[in-house]
Amino acid sequence: MLSEQIKEDLITAQKAKDEKIVSCLRMLKAAITNKEIEKRVKLIEANQNLSEEDLAIQSKLIDEEILEVISQEVKKRRDSIVSFEKGGRFDLVEGEKAELDILKKYMPAELSEEEIRILVKDVIENVGAKDINDIGIVMKEIVPKTKGKSDGNLVGQIVRELLGK
């Protein structure tokens, strides 16, 4: 399970005194815990009759949900890198890139640009999209297929490019 892997890696990094990895994994564990709390609150609001034990079990995140949290953290790092580069803060860029590399270790292999293009072309054909006005229909179909496996900005750029032709 992904949460166990993160926990083991955190312990290993603590023993090795690798502060960069320890810091990044603690941040990730906090984000996962926050998501579990959010899920627990929704469960309580939806069903008042759950026992404390049932709540604990049902609020635990499954691997797909953890991947979603990691994906959000990866996106934050990518956005920060772009912002810091624009602002000339290259000292901060290095730290964000290091955290990004740590987080990517838990993500599935990323799709290449060519693989994304092939998927987008297939979706465009399947939904019968004709021009840029159909971007919403295409994105609705392509996002679940590429989620966690590619940068959403790149997917959107390719969709716009292919629909603009």
* Start-to-end Cα distance in the chain: 44
Hey, is 53 helix, strand or coil?
A: helix
Going by pLDDT thresholds of 50, 70 and 90, the confidence category of residue 61 is: very high
Averaged pLDDT, 61-89:
92
- Domain tally, the chain: 2
Q: Mean pLDDT in the chain?
A: 90
Residues 82 and 131 in one domain: no
CATH code, domain carrying 90:
1.10.1510.10
Residues 81 and 127 in one domain: no
Residues 100 and 119 in one domain: no
Burial class (CB in 10 A: 0-12, 13-18, 19+), 140: exposed
Question: Which position has the higher pLDDT, 45 or 20?
Answer: 20
Residues, the chain: 165
CA dist., res. 115 & res. 109, Å (int): 12
Residues 75 and 151 in one domain: no
CA dist., res. 154 & res. 63, Å (int): 24
DSSP code per residue over 100-152: HHHHHTTSPPPPPHHHHHHHHHHHHHHHT--SGGGHHHHHHHHHHHHTTTS-H
Q: What is the tens place of the pLDDT at every residue in 99-124?
A: 999 999 998 888 888 999 999 999 88
Distance of CA 29 to the CA centre of its chain: 14
Q: Where in the sequence is the domain holding 143, given as residue range(s)? A: 113-164
CATH code, domain carrying 160:
1.10.10.410
Distance of CA 68 to the CA centre of its chain: 5
